[in-house]
Amino acid sequence: MSRTQTTGAAWVVALFLLLTLCVTPALGRRQEASSKPQAPASRPDSAKASANTSAAPSASEIAAAKASGKVWVNLDTGIYHKAGRWYGKTKNGKFMTPEEAKKAGYRPAKRD
Decide if 95 is inside a domain. yes
Do 52 and 104 lie in one domain? The reply is: yes
* Claim to verify: residue 70 and residue 103 sit in the same structural domain: yes
Number of domains in the chain: 2
Residues 59 and 93 in one domain: yes
Do 18 and 68 belong together in one domain?
Answer: no
- pLDDT by residue for the chain (112 residues), tens only, comes to 677 677 778 888 887 777 777 766 656 665 555 555 554 454 555 444 444 555 789 999 999 999 999 999 999 999 999 999 999 999 999 999 999 999 999 999 998 7
State residue 30's pLDDT score.
58
Identify the pLDDT of residue 49.
47
pLDDT at residue 106 in the model: 96
pLDDT value of residue 24: 63
Residue 41 included in any domain:
no
Domain range for 12: 1-36
Q: Are residues 15 and 60 in the same domain?
A: no
- In whole angstroms, what is the distance from residue 94 CA to residue 72 CA? 6
pTM score, whole prediction: 0.52
- Residue 33 is predicted with a pLDDT of 53
CA–CA dist 45, 54 (Å, integer): 16
**Same domain (yes/no): 11, 32:** yes
Same domain, 54 and 72: yes
The strands making up 107-108's β-sheet, listed across from edge to edge, are 93-96, 71-74, 79-81, 107-108
Asked if residues 106 and 79 have their Cβ atoms less than 8 Å apart, the reply is yes
In terms of domains, do 11 and 29 share one?
Answer: yes
